[in-house]
């Protein structure tokens, strides 16, 4: 699976305009080379639609709560697919279940080991930070924000359940090429290595990112972020921290200790970069979450040095880079 995406973040509207080119081969990763059935449709996750209102499965089961955050009904989130094309042919698509799953009908069945390329245009509205994603003022944690292809089982069916409060973000490993346009003053941390940053117009930046062998793509954007880089246990680590807290040295120490042990116990960290996002307190609903090559934490200034809650959180999310992030279990 290969994603080539262009996206524009409009902070004042909490909106992302997106264009996605998807290339895939009908060959389930769970059993390479095994015979598969022809595919008559594709299935995608539309996770943000779980935040569209109180009637969704996510909201009804979780009662509008997730860990330490609550849903703000005055600032909902959603994702709208505007068009899907295969070449010059428009494909029919429809939302199923509670709107968190998209079905795309193919004009012709996709046979075993055959490849397909399609184009998709979409818009995503980010909710007030809740259940790992959203905005808090000018801070944005942009996660589960694009139509995400579901995982294909070895029997040739899609594993694509509606979004439950404790559902995992299960999906195929893929490569991502992402071009992001946003205000120039925003500092971005992403599931990838930044390839290029350029000026676009008077007040916009255009950034490109590349990530390979990951099952998701997420990024944060915040003008106030303090960015530091270091090489820790042989890994390039980017830290976006909160100004005034002075937490970067502590976060670096915990990350280095964790990387040292994880690499000795299991295998070397395989990606070019690891990114840590320390979220501001007003965005606490986005803290304590793992994405491929990126995780989020929270380090309040009132936590004393002898209290290891901050360090435990860093080590917990860092270990998720291996389990389930790379091992897929």
CA distance 248 to 182: 25
Residue 259: strand, helix, or coil: helix
Mean pLDDT value across residues 260-285: 96
pLDDT at position 34: 53
pLDDT digits (tens, 9 = 90+) for 287-320: 999 999 999 999 988 778 888 999 999 999 999 9
Mean pLDDT value across residues 320-326: 94
**Residue 29's pLDDT band (boundaries 50, 70, 90)?**
low
pLDDT at position 12: 96
Mean pLDDT value across residues 253-274: 97
CA distance 238 to 228: 6
pLDDT at position 76: 96
Q: What is the pTM of this model?
A: 0.94
Mean pLDDT value across residues 4-10: 98
Q: Half-sphere exposure (CA, 13 Å, Cβ side) for 186?
A: 26
pLDDT at position 14: 97
pLDDT at position 197: 84
pLDDT at position 255: 98
pLDDT at position 32: 53
pLDDT at position 194: 75
* pLDDT score of 218 more than 90: yes
Nearest to 215 by CA among 266, 173, 245, 261: 173
Mean pLDDT value across residues 124-151: 96
* pLDDT score of 264 more than 60: yes
pLDDT digits (tens, 9 = 90+) for 193-207: 777 788 887 899 999
CB-based burial of residue 303 (10 Å sphere; 0-12 exposed, 13-18 middle, 19+ buried)? Answer: middle
* pLDDT score of 31 more than 60: no
* pLDDT score of 66 more than 90: no
Tell me the β-bridge partners of 151: 159
CA distance 247 to 81: 40
Residues contacting 264, CB < 8 A, separation 6+: none
pLDDT at position 35: 57
- How many residues appear in the chain? 329
């Amino acid at each position: 699976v290969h994603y080539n995406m262009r996206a524009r973040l409009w902070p004042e509207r909490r909106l992302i305009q997106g264009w996605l080119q998807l290339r895939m081969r009908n060959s389930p990763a769970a059993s390479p080379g095994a015979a598969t059935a022809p595919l008559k449709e594709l299935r995608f996750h539309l996770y943000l639609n779980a935040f569209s209102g109180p009637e969704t499965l996510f909201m009804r089961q979780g009662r509008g709560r997730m860990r330490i955050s609550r849903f703000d009904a005055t600032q909902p989130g959603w994702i709208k697919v505007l068009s899907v094309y295969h070449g010059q042919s428009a494909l029919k698509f429809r939302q199923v279940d509670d709107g968190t799953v998209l079905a795309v009908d193919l004009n012709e069945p996709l046979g075993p080991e055959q490849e397909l390329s399609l184009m998709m245009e979409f818009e995503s509205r980010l909710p007030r930070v809740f259940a790992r994603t959203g905005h808090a003022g000018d801070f944005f944690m942009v996660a589960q924000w694009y139509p995400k292809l579901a995982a294909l089982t070895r029997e040739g069916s899609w594993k694509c359940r509606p979004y439950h409060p404790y559902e995992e973000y299960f999906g195929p490993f893929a490569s991502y090429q992402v071009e992001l346009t946003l205000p120039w003053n925003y500092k971005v941390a992403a599931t990838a290595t930044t390839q290029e940053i350029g000026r676009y117009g008077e007040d916009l930046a255009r950034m490109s990112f590349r990530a390979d062998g990951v099952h998701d793509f997420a990024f944060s954007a915040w003008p106030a972020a303090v960015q530091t880089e270091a090489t820790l246990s042989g890994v390039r680590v980017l830290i976006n921290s909160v100004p005034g807290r002075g937490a970067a040295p502590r976060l670096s120490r915990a990350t280095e200790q964790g990387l040292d042990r994880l690499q000795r116990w299991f295998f070397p960290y395989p990606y070019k970069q690891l990114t840590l996002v320390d979220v501001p307190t007003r965005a606490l609903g986005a803290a304590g979450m793992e994405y491929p090559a990126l995780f989020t934490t929270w380090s309040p200034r009132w936590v004393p040095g002898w209290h290891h809650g901050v360090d435990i959180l860093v080590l917990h999310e860092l270990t998720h880079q291996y389990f389930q992030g790379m091992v897929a279990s």
